[in-house]
């Protein structure tokens, strides 16, 4: 059990920066641009829902679609499939980390909106936005895998 956790931690230490560095920077930059584009001060329920549903859910696309980008090349895919560490295991860990990154980003953004005097049901809007963001990201990931190119997703 301890060796399995150590293997996962070693994998995360090496793989997380490679997989999520650019994606997370893009998602955070986009999230920081949302207040400049839409405005997030003194919003009511309806306008807050618009910000969450039309703008913030797109971070799922930025974070989840590129998680298998490295393995889409044929040469890399052949090497990955011959390793003892299974490809399914690494993608599953990346998906869990992507879900956590989306959850943290949405929760922090919602907290900032509440600090800006926005009125909305916090838990309901945050959980719904996280689910929509994950759905869009997984849909894009599926399309990227089916098409063999991240740009398709």
Q: What does the DSSP 8-state code read for residue 117?
A: T
Enumerate the H helices of the chain as residue ranges.
2-38, 45-50, 59-64, 74-82, 87-115, 122-147
Q: What is the largest CA-CA distance in the chain?
A: 55
7, 22, 41, 43, 151 from 63: Cα distances, Å: 24, 9, 26, 27, 13
For residue 33, how far is the Cα from the chain centroid? 17
Distance, CA of 60 to CA of 7 (rounded, Å): 27
- pLDDT at position 122, please? 93
Nearest in space to 58 (alpha carbons), one of 127, 132, 124, 126: 132
- pLDDT of 81: 56
Residue 87 has a pLDDT of 74
Report the pLDDT value the prediction gives residue 78, as an integer from 0 to 100. Answer: 54
The model's pTM is: 0.84
* Per-residue pLDDT at 19: 76
CB contact at 8 A, 95 and 15: no
pLDDT, tens digit only, all 153 positions of the chain: 666 667 777 776 777 777 778 888 999 999 999 999 888 888 898 999 999 999 999 999 999 888 877 665 655 555 555 566 677 888 888 899 899 999 999 999 999 999 999 999 999 999 999 999 999 999 998 888 887 776 665
Q: Is 52 left (phi over 0), alpha (psi -120 to 50) or beta?
A: alpha
DSSP state of 151: T
């Amino acid at each position: 059990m301890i060796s399995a956790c150590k293997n996962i931690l070693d994998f995360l230490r090496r793989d997380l920066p490679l997989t999520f560095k650019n994606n997370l920077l893009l998602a955070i930059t986009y999230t920081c641009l949302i207040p400049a584009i839409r405005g997030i001060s003194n919003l009511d329920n309806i306008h807050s829902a618009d910000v969450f549903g039309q703008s913030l859910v797109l971070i799922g696309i930025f974070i989840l679609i590129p998680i298998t980008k490295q393995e889409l090349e044929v040469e890399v895919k052949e090497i990955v499939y011959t390793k003892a560490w299974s490809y399914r295991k690494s993608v599953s860990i990346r998906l869990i980390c992507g879900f956590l990154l989306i959850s943290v980003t949405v929760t922090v953004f919602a907290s900032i909106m509440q600090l800006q005097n926005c009125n909305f049901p916090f838990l309901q809007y945050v959980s719904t936005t996280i689910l929509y963001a994950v759905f869009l990201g997984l849909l894009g990931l599926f399309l990227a895998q089916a098409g063999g190119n991240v740009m398709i997703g």
